[in-house]
Structure 1
């Protein structure tokens, strides 16, 4: 009788394998590891009677480390780490697991690997192969790989009956990443830590000032957005807004076709033309069918963004919860790049499993009764796992709060994918007044379809009053409103995940880890609104590298390495070739940084110590109070006007506005009580403004160095 050793990545997976393959007839035979039991039972594999032995590891069994003495900071120079010998060693806390594997390997004929079906799982699989083949001799053809996406009876039975072979190239890509991260992380961490401890008393007792090839580009995104906010220069602009009332509760709001103008005089002239016209005319009414598209099937990146934005659960925690749901057999494998379902998956069976739910059972049955539509196909396929979907019914009583929230989101998203698009009619009314065009839109939702089951997306109805083509009317309100441009908001976790994914920083399985790392290292933190901002140390590090011209905080270098790892996984490049190329490039970067390290030290001194003393000198441009920036402003006071008032008017006090019509502080132009005819007359006489800074009459000439001219140049839109 053949003996088959089945090794899973976690004890919970081993337990599921034992449960579904033994039909409850397995025997727990103990084992050398307390937390990794060994099960044995008889099984029929492809018509042959075999003895199955099932056990597990707990993630990686080995670590990649420098050999002695290169792991000692005081024994070798930093430069030696580029070529210092490294080795994979058994982790000190995994000795019992290794002994367990060695004992379980005795007398086996086949090794079946049940590690997670991704690159990391493949790397762990070859760690297991290394341990097992040192304990017993196995022919390469007798080392097999189970391929599965969910811990269900169907998936597990299908996997054991269709064993494949492990893929060395996937493991090699992970080994390449581990070696590069080890070398580069150690090199730049030692450099930063040893040299920056002397740069500031704040860092004198800092045990580690770490650097990582993924964590620094991640931090770079956070710092870049913060700098965009701090360097933002607000500009004043004007809009024309029209409202028409029809009946007690029906109001149509018309938006201006020009959207906005940054020149007050030009806007005022157009506004006066509308006022002189006195009435508007409907020139076009269009009513078209409009659909709201259902979502694409759920990949890991989309899952993390959705959970972060809608459930306010951070990506690291959400992945841990998803992993737990997967291990309990409730959802499919949560690490996948795939966003389309292959036709080999029976989606109706998955929907049928949800038909008894008290929350969405009725909707599920409607899909089965004829409302089902095959999900849209995305463009990504990792050739390993389907999109994330539910595989078993769970209830609120089965799970705790956040577990239920995530299970509910996965299930509702899956059902929405299998639904029809929402349908409605959009009405667009075009009006003209004084040569200016205005537009109002209204929506009438006819069929909710997927929106009925999917509360994470809205399609708001906005019913318009009835208008007739060619109708002439007098607006109830026509205002020239002044506004101020606003800085971009701090990054949300969903924003950060999108930037990392787009720039190739990390993978679907590691992005959440890098986001957690920059928080653990105290380089970035979350505001009460769950938005990211850099700490002073994080800001100083990125600013220092930027000042010297080094690009190790930007995404291009790491994205290039990630691309190289994909080439290794696809057998288009060897592991050694990727490592040689990357280390060669980074050695040049290292020497560049060492030659200019004083710039990093200066940035640390300036941005860590100085702001602690001068923070109260920071002034918010909105409310005029000191001690905070505008993006953190909580004041309910009206914003300060940024437009210079007329020379003969008093400057506005803190918290007050300067009216653009009369120049007096304390009110908006919409509430101005000055004689409008006087203002109109001044505009019509063509009297040109004189710049109070340089004395130029009218518009500043091209190339003017005047600060007013620079400030009023609109940004690229």
Structure 2
């Protein structure tokens, strides 16, 4: 009977997997220091047969990457030398006991079976484990388990279907680690040594750090800040028609929306009044649907969590990791929004039937209401979308765990339901050669909305019967004016969306980059809508057509001259629903850093996402095998070196901005 050494990425996973594989409870044999090694026998079938298993763990990365000793002191060299300074990989003191435990167990093993998370970072940690073990026992066969949750059936399947480590993914992480070290150290030392003596007069800082993801993230916040600060409202004018029929008052909105030329709107409005009669030119009733949500990805979990669960994205991910470790949900770091057809989704739904809140909905899905989830455009070929693995009674979870778990369950059940169904009515009228229209909606079947309260779709007031060719004298026609409103400050869901769209960080690291700019006091946060310049609804940014108390003008009907009118479609809505969302406002230091680099004058500023986005695409190219780690590292160092040289040549520009000159 051969010996197989299994190594997980964290102690909790080692314990959970060992207890699934062991015929009885796995024997806990204490390893070195705090480490636990679980010993049991297991039959791996055709792969390795009956074997003696020692299951242990690491605690994330074992090795660190650092500059050679003579370059570690801030005064040891010019920061520019860090682009080429030799670097070393070594086991830090607090990880040496982990390395020694692997060495001891590997010495007598025939197989090293790695159980790290199935993502790029997990592959790299797997290579660290492998290198330590092979140094002691070069004859080891090395495999890895491919798993995305720690449900027993899934673990057993992974145990009997080992795969090789993915060297390409590990190389992509190694390239990213080297670039982050060199670029972060060079720019951080340069700007801290140059700016800290001046900034310390106002704000005591240990370091003014730079990161190739950190700065574009800050850049998004500062860019929105200036759009708010520099916003100049513009007055616009629009026409609104109201008609009462069958006891129902119907508002018809101008097809043009609004115009910024008062005289032009006045002329058009006069034509409407002179025409007197309005004519119905279109009546259309048609079935409509509100699509159910796509399967849940990490980015979507972070955005929805920060919007609806009253916690920031970093906290959401921490809670999700804990739920995964405890075996309640699948691996929470995934880009995939497609369920593999081989996954038994009904088996997952079946476990949720016992819940007192969403259990009846789950029963309805099992009794014929199940529909295959929609397929999104992303598949990382590593993990399924985030979904519940087991049912857990709410009292077993703390409040934050319960909220995240409930969201994951409700999202999954919604994915397996039907789209909401309704009937939409669109009516258009011609009045003085101008077109006005109204829209009505009747929700006929809520379907997924019954379990997914995070989406809203409500019936509007039922419209009276109109027929094409019908004419009428509008009850009221009025001309209003209003002002465009500034966009709100950037919220966390919006920031995550911008980072995702521009390739800043991965789904696994976005929350960390946001936390870093807060930690460095480059930004501060507050609840959305707080303060004098509090933000409006995110939709305003796209249209810039919010109104600030639209004012009534000349009109026909009971409104008359000077009556107060309502706002147009750009008005803010849903404020209460977004009440817990945080918005970001840059500090003086955050603004100074971004403005300084922008004014240095290179074509691609460090505050913009383009350099980092290109780097992230190159990481994916390493994974695909179309480029190499060395090529990516060399190309990016040359690009950033050019920026570094130019910055040092114009460091006085950066200093002047930081001093507010």
Using structure 2 for the length normalisation, give the TM-score: 0.89
Cα distance between partner residues in 1 of 2:87 and 2:137 = 26
1:33 and 1:100 in contact (8 A); partners too:
no
Moved over 4 A (4+): none
Residue 584 of structure 1 is matched in structure 2 by 638
Cα distance between partner residues in 1 of 2:23 and 2:522 = 51
Q: Deviations over 1:261-319 (max 9, x none)?
A: 10011111111222233332322211111111111111111111111122232111111
Cα distance between partner residues in 2 of 1:23 and 1:461 = 57
- Judging changes above 3 Å, is the alpha-carbon distance between structure 1 residues 37 and 238 closer, same or farther for their aligned structure 2 residues? same
Residue pairs, 1:173-184, within 5 angstroms: 173-184=172-183
Q: Per the alignment, in what secondary structure is the counterpart of residue 198 of structure 1? A: helix
Cα distance between partner residues in 2 of 1:184 and 1:58 = 26
Relative contact order: is structure 1 or structure 2 higher (C-alpha 8 Å, sep ≥ 6)?
Answer: 2
Structure 1, gaps ≥5 residues long: 608-717
Q: Deviations over 1:84-104 (max 9, x none)?
A: 110111122212222222222
Residue 306 of structure 2 is matched in structure 1 by 308
More moved, 147-156 vs 205-214: 205-214
Q: Per the alignment, in what secondary structure is the counterpart of residue 312 of structure 1? A: coil
Q: Per the alignment, in what secondary structure is the counterpart of residue 391 of structure 1? A: coil
Q: Which among 361, 364, 368 is matched to residue 363 of structure 1?
A: 361
- Judging changes above 3 Å, is the alpha-carbon distance between structure 1 residues 388 and 480 closer, same or farther for their aligned structure 2 residues? same
Q: Deviations over 1:156-189 (max 9, x none)?
A: 1001100111111111110100000000000000
Residue 649 of structure 2 is matched in structure 1 by 595
How far did 1:214 drift? 0.5
- Judging changes above 3 Å, is the alpha-carbon distance between structure 1 residues 244 and 311 closer, same or farther for their aligned structure 2 residues? farther
Q: Which among 562, 573, 591 is matched to residue 627 of structure 2?
A: 573
Residue 148 of structure 2 is matched in structure 1 by 149
1:199 and 1:602 in contact (8 A); partners too:
no
Cα distance between partner residues in 2 of 1:182 and 1:468 = 68
Structure 2, gaps ≥5 residues long: 529-581
1:252 and 1:464 in contact (8 A); partners too:
no
Using structure 1 for the length normalisation, give the TM-score: 0.82
2:63 and 2:89 in contact (8 A); partners too:
yes
1:522 has 2:503 as partner: no
1:44 has 2:43 as partner: yes
How far did 1:255 drift? 0.5
Q: Deviations over 1:127-151 (max 9, x none)?
A: 1112112232334xx1010000101
Q: Which has the larger radius of gyration?
A: 1
How far did 1:205 drift? 4.3
Residue 540 of structure 1 is matched in structure 2 by 592
Q: Deviations over 1:15-46 (max 9, x none)?
A: 11111111433211111031x31110111110
Cα distance between partner residues in 1 of 2:114 and 2:202 = 47
Q: Which among 438, 454, 457 is matched to residue 456 of structure 1?
A: 454
1:352 and 1:364 in contact (8 A); partners too:
yes
How far did 1:542 drift? 0.2
Q: Per the alignment, in what secondary structure is the counterpart of residue 182 of structure 2? A: helix
1:265 has 2:263 as partner: yes
RMSD: 1.4
How far did 1:201 drift? 4.7
2:298 and 2:507 in contact (8 A); partners too:
yes
Between the two proteins, the alignment pairs up a number of residues equal to 603
How far did 1:515 drift? 0.8
1:223 and 1:534 in contact (8 A); partners too:
yes
Residue 548 of structure 2 is matched in structure 1 by none
1:150 and 1:332 in contact (8 A); partners too:
yes
Residue pairs, 1:477-488, within 5 angstroms: 477-488=476-487
